[in-house]
Structure 1
Amino acid sequence: MMTVAVLGGGAAGFFGAITCAESNPHLRVVLLEKTGKLLSKVRISGGGRCNVTHAADTAAQLVQHYPRGAKQLKEPFKQFGAVDTVRWFERRGVRLKTEPDGRMFPTTDSSETIAQCLLQAARVAGVEVLTQTTVEHIEPLAEGGFQLTLTGAHAQILPAARVLIATGGAPKSEQYEWLRRLGHSVQEPVPSLFTFNVPESPLRELPGVSVPRARVRVAGEKLEYEGPILVTHWGVSGPAVLKLSAWGARRLHELQYQSTALVSWIPDYTEDTLRQQFAAFREQHGKKVVTTNPLFGLPQRLWRTLSEHAGIGPETRWNELPSKLQNRLIENLLRTALPVRGKTTYKDEFVTCGGVALSEVNMQTMESRRVPGLYFAGEVLDIDGITGGFNFQAAWTTGYLAGQAMAKAA
């Protein structure tokens, strides 16, 4: 039997292996994982619920959420998009539900449901899964195909007609050296999807406070994002910060994660409209104490902190508020300055910007343009999405296309 080797026991690797084995039962499909754990990222994602994909009917909707790879993913998403992902899992007994923000999870709210579905589909399709097995060397053969040198639990020389690399992203450039030796260029890896560390934060006494819609901007840069924000023990997090970090991954890396983040807690307001709102409120509720009567639906603790940082005393009423202190409050509401001094990985969800250059991959089949018979899928490619199920969708899509292509080529 002709052998197809799949490197990496994550989402993209499993999807590629399953698709290949289902599409061509005459192939021997071997999935190789260097650790003892399979689908580890699937299991921890979405707080243990697994954000499988995002509700999007068209490829055009999907590609808007990829800082790297958007243009190149448009055609692949037409072949296998979010709707196809939902159908794929439903055909195997797993139903997905859509949350108000568009994220899709299994109805069980358990990532184990997704992991077990993939493991079962691999078993049924006849995929051989070898764990604790490292691929030490891949040698392309002159007559076609490859020779893989395996070490670990299943040490052997494994001949393979096709090889799919789905080893995920890596934080250090040198971890891609083996791919460079195969003839590929690599876009330098830098972190994406991270939170901001603000050790001198004026909000440090407010961990757990969240605002459903705020705007975060990096001072002096064309980088901003709007969405929910969460105050943490170490700084700020939430979708607005995470998505900003993805779009600005390379620039923030150049800045060595030292910048000033400006937060507008009420992004629908300008200085002028805010002054008008204050004037109207003062006219109707002039005797109310400023610090204890939050406006705009902002959390009480946040409002009080912003007011106190403006120099407003605990007994000051609206009809006593000096214009100087009102101006400071306006500044705090529209541009709270947070001195960012570093970053923190979001939970355990490690995402990199960077990887194998997409110009060297046929995005219809995921086959290398440099090495015939070599395929790529998932985060090993220079593709990354913002938070919300987009990185998994890229994994399912690229894995599916690679699996189909390898099955046909064999």
Structure 2
Amino acid sequence: MRKKPKIAVIGAGASGCFAALQIYDELQGLCDIQIFEKSKEPLSKLKISGGGRCNVTHNLFDPELLSMRYPRGNKELRWAFESFSPSDTITWFQKRGVTLKAEADGRMFPTTDSSETIINCFLDELKSKKIPIHFEQGLVGIYPNQIPDVNLNQKNGFRVLWEGGFEENFGTVVIATGSNRKVWSILEKLGHKIITPVPSLFTLTLENTDLVELTGLVVPNSEIKILPKGKPQSGPMLITHWGLSGPCALRLSAWEARTLFEADYKVDLSVNWIGGEKTQNVEEIYLSKKEKTPGDKLVPDPLWKLPNRFWEWILNESKIQPNKRYSDISKSEIRNLCLILTQTKLRMVAKGVFKEEFVTAGGVSRKDIQFQTMESKKTPGLFFTGEVIDVDGVTGGFNFQNAWTTATIAARGIRKTIVI
């Protein structure tokens, strides 16, 4: 009688644990799955996500729109999200007694607002399926076997070596180690191309500017780009004591991750504090008000929803005294005001840290992976999930959704390679 197929999942993070559970279900439990983790605890990123509340996914259900939230991997994930989407994530957790809720910005959290709810869900599932996690197991190497092992009931399989000299044979190996340079080095020896990793999702540290005196203010509809010809990113902008954060700044850091890295995070930025409004259009609005209502005080358009203190900063930058009426303002002052509103020039001098979350742009080349199965094109029997691949999303639950989706596709891909 043949033994159960042996499957090693390297990494006990979100994608690794989810992959193990999905593989178990796909193979109806007729397999020996083991998870190996280099640290002393599992699911560490889940624990700190969303300020400890765990931003599980995003309630963006259209695969086309969803894939556009990934600076790297959007083309590959476009199809993948047809296979396992945020709605499937919601259903998966719901079946296990975990209800998710969507906030105004689309981020989804457990209704308990606690990451422990998600972590316990995973650990309980792993325990009920008797899937062990072996901690403090640092990977040393993965070596494809040259001779088939009929007992593995799979392809030739692999000899997996751990720190301390321990080794074991597995028919299938799933790499779910996230951003791990040592593992990437091991994969390079197997013939995989590694796209040099650079940081993504970070805040923008600015050169000396009195803007930082407005720490804590949010400008709700901003647009930012790298000068001279960067692609603009939009969303709420949070002013911090070191510079800029919030969705708008973080999206820029993700989409321009490699550009910013190559510039050593020293670039000129242009910020439009009122979204996509053109300078000329705004100028025409103010000139019209100057002509038609000269006795009115100079105020921002209510649709812009600019905080009062921020408007005072705009006026100060424009060298316009507060409470001035349109009749007292020259056309050149109006022009300067509109330029500050729509084209504020700032200098970025360093990258900051986005809470404790860390995402990289880079990893195993997407060209080396068959995204219909997540199996390696270079090494049959080797599968990839999550951030070990050159795939990353903007903030908002998108990186976890990538973990759930690629883990599920890997599980289905593994099912196709194994005859029970």
Give, as a single letter, the amino acid of the residue that structure 1 aligns with 2:101. K
> In the alignment, is residue 113 of structure 1 matched against residue 123 of structure 2?
no
2:243 to 235, 244, 252: 235
Partner of 2:409: 401
Do the aligned partners of 2:287 and 2:331 also contact (CA within 8 Å) in 1? no
Do the aligned partners of 1:294 and 1:304 also contact (CA within 8 Å) in 2? no
Partner of 1:213: 221
> In the alignment, is residue 19 of structure 1 matched against residue 29 of structure 2?
no
CA distance in 2, matches of 1:273, 1:61: 29
> In the alignment, is residue 97 of structure 1 matched against residue 101 of structure 2?
yes
Matching of residues 251-400 of structure 1 within 5 Å: 251-279=259-287, 281-282=289-290, 283-284=292-293, 286=295, 288=297, 295-296=301-302, 297-314=305-322, 316-400=324-408
Give, as a single letter, the amino acid of the residue that structure 1 aligns with 2:173. V
Spell out, residue by residue over 1:27-74, the C-alpha distance to the aligned partner (whole angstroms, 9 max, x if none): 111101100121111111112221111223332232121111111122
> In the alignment, is residue 58 of structure 1 matched against residue 67 of structure 2?
no
1:169 to 162, 179, 187: 179
Residue 367 of structure 1 deviates from its aligned partner by: 0.9
Matching of residues 194-205 of structure 1 within 5 Å: 194-205=202-213
> In the alignment, is residue 151 of structure 1 matched against residue 155 of structure 2?
no
Spell out, residue by residue over 1:277-319, the C-alpha distance to the aligned partner (whole angstroms, 9 max, x if none): 324555547364x5xx555431111111121122223564443
Give, as a single letter, the amino acid of the residue that structure 1 aligns with 2:106. G
Look up the SS of the partner of 1:122 in the other structure.
helix
Q: Which runs of 5+ in 1 are unaligned?
A: none
Spell out, residue by residue over 1:115-138, the C-alpha distance to the aligned partner (whole angstroms, 9 max, x if none): 111111111122111111112222
Give, as a single letter, the amino acid of the residue that structure 1 aligns with 2:37. E
CA distance in 2, matches of 1:184, 1:255: 27
Look up the SS of the partner of 2:173 in the other structure.
strand
Q: Which runs of 5+ in 2 are unaligned?
A: 148-155
TM-score (norm 1): 0.93
Cα root mean square deviation, aligned: 2.0
CA distance in 1, matches of 2:91, 2:278: 45
Give, as a single letter, the amino acid of the residue that structure 1 aligns with 2:176. A
With over 3 angstroms needed to count, the CA separation of the structure-2 counterparts of 1:135 and 1:264, relative to structure 1, is same
> In the alignment, is residue 136 of structure 1 matched against residue 148 of structure 2?
no
CA distance in 2, matches of 1:315, 1:338: 26
Partner of 1:67: 71
CA distance in 1, matches of 2:279, 2:300: 18
Partner of 1:8: 11
Do the aligned partners of 1:15 and 1:403 also contact (CA within 8 Å) in 2? no
TM-score (norm 2): 0.91
> In the alignment, is residue 47 of structure 1 matched against residue 51 of structure 2?
yes
